[in-house]
Amino acid sequence: MLRSLNLNAPIASSGRFLLQQQHRQSVRLLSAAPAAAKPADSKRRSLAKPDRPNIVLVEGVRTPFLQSGTDYKRLMPHDLARHSLLTLANRTKLDKSIVDYIVMGTVIQEVKTSNIAREAALGAGYSDRIPAHTVTQACISSNQAITTCMGLLATGAAQVCIAGGVEFMSDVPIRLNSHLLSMRKAKSLPDQLSVGGRILGSLTGGVELPAVAEFSTNETMGHSADRLCAAFGISRRAQDEFALRSHTLAAQAAKDGLLTEIEPFKVPGVANTVSRDNGVRPSSMEAMSKLKPAFVKPHGTITAANASFLTDGASACLLTTEETAKRLGLKPKAYLRDFMYVSQDPKDQLLLGPAYATPRILERNGLSLADIDAFEYHEAFAGQILANLAALDSDYFAKQYMGRQAGKYGAPPMDKLNCWGGSLSIGHPFGATGVRLVTCAANRLLKGSGQLALVAACAAGGQGHAMLVEAYPQ
């Protein structure tokens, strides 16, 4: 049974070895240019299975992802989710009445729209006959929305589905505990004054904000990530380099017009239409090095610059079977071939989901790292990404924690990883990131990255997800 990481075990030196090999020079991460585009190899074995329908991603869209407290701050999450559903239908020229089911993910729910999938669908003009439900699985909530739809399509319970997600960190629910309920029950003036005093005491003493710590461990994700970096010997400099790489690649992708999934959003009362992610800000190592640790003070290595930021945004994608797509005249972008969820110790391995999921899903499909042309890994923290790469490249970790007696599996090559930026730069609206990852993987394949892509993500609770995406013949 997997337990705590031994901070004194050889794993730390293994992590340092990986960093020395892949990031020896301070500019190595930035100079690792994305792999040259190449067409899908028609001679390569397809991952199609004769006993399963071919499930396809027709299209994926998202709002621009914005830092919380900026241009979206006066909206509701419903507004962003509705926009993603509406623009998806417009882009694909979809007859909304043919959709059989809608699933959306979210993490911190707006109490007015607890089933936001249903409310957003109605607001976007979808038929009131279309069932919709909302799922939550932390940072992989819209991954779960996608795979839930895949299950409906695979079993024939639905022919056309929409999966999506939304998160709105600009205005999160705040609890005033039971005092307000007591006020409603207070009949006499003395009772009302007494309860009013307790309410004022709650306000001055600090209201209860949504939990940012793991319920099972009472530790924040940032603190856990900092400890993970210490366990694997991930330096502050390596984290800053990776974060700078993410911002640099995202800025270049935006400049080159590669982030085609973005659907501009006109915010009421704001003069300019929002058309770009506003968290992409390439800086410098010098500027980043001046920031103080955000979680483990004063000696931690995670800062505001090498961690993902609180983000508002929504996403949606259209899924169906290949047979149905042909019948409806829809042109798919990619096949969604296989997926996997994993869970591990939430105390010391909270963010290692990709390290556990990557070997398992590839081996289940008879693949190796060399068969994958594009990797899209969720970037919660730069250190989390580097720790996962170190874990995959560690003989000690493979044998001690993954039960792989043959030793390490190996880490994805940097020139194939997150070549258009990632969550560190683009942003991470918890419930919407999964659809962004899958859509980006499909778009990278479509742009000539090759035939197969692997999506992987960590999530709160010590969970993880991986999915295999295959290019659709163009």
Of 316, 334, 313, 262, whose CA–CA distance to 94 is shortest? Answer: 316
| Distance from the Cα of residue 182 to its chain's centroid | 40
Angle, helices 116-123 vs 77-92, to 10°: value is: 50
pLDDT at 19: 40
55-171+217-471 falls under which CATH superfamily?
Thiolase/Chalcone synthase (3.40.47.10)
**Residue 280: what residue type?**
V
Confidence of residue 202 (pLDDT cuts 50, 70, 90): low
Is 139 part of the annotated catalytic residue set? yes
Rounded Cα distance between 98 and 329, Å, is 13
Provide the residue ranges of all domains of the chain, joining segments of one domain with +.
55-171+217-471
Q: What is the mean pLDDT of residues 186-205?
A: 67
CA distance 114 to 374: 36
DSSP three-state, residue 376: strand
Alpha-carbon distance 143 to 136, whole Å?
Answer: 10
Selecting among 139, 161, 317, 419, the annotated active-site residue is 139
| Statement: residue 374 has pLDDT above 60 | yes
Q: Which residues of 316-336 are buried (b: 16+ CB within 10 A; e: fewer)?
A: bbbbbbbebbeeeebebbbbb
Write out the two tokens for 122. Answer: 């109605």
* Separation between Cα atoms, residue 282 and residue 247, nearest integer Å: 5
Q: pLDDT tens across 88-97, in order?
A: 999 999 999 9
Q: Where are the alpha helices (DSSP H) in 158-235?
A: 179-185, 189-205, 221-232
Joined together, the tokens standing for residue 39 give 């067409």
What pLDDT does residue 5 have? 58
Q: Would the pLDDT of 268 be above 90?
A: yes
Query: For 316-360, what is each residue's pLDDT tens digit?
Result: 999 999 999 999 999 999 999 999 999 999 999 999 999 999 999
The predicted model scores a pTM of: 0.90
Instruction: Considering the candidates 161, 229, 440, 458, report the single residue annotated as catalytic.
Output: 458
Q: In 3-state terms, what secondary structure has residue 8?
A: coil
- Partners of 467 in the β-ladder: 339, 455
Written as six digits, the tokens of 23 are 């990031």
Angle at 247 between CA 235 and CA 80, to 5 degrees: 120
| Distances from the Cα of 472 to the Cα of 61, 149, 362, angstroms | 18, 19, 19
338, 47 Cβ separation under 8 angstroms: yes
Sign of the C-alpha dihedral, residues 376, 379, 383, 388? negative
Cα 385 from Cα 457, distance rounded (Å):
10
Report the distance separating Cα 194 and Cα 219, nearest Å: 35
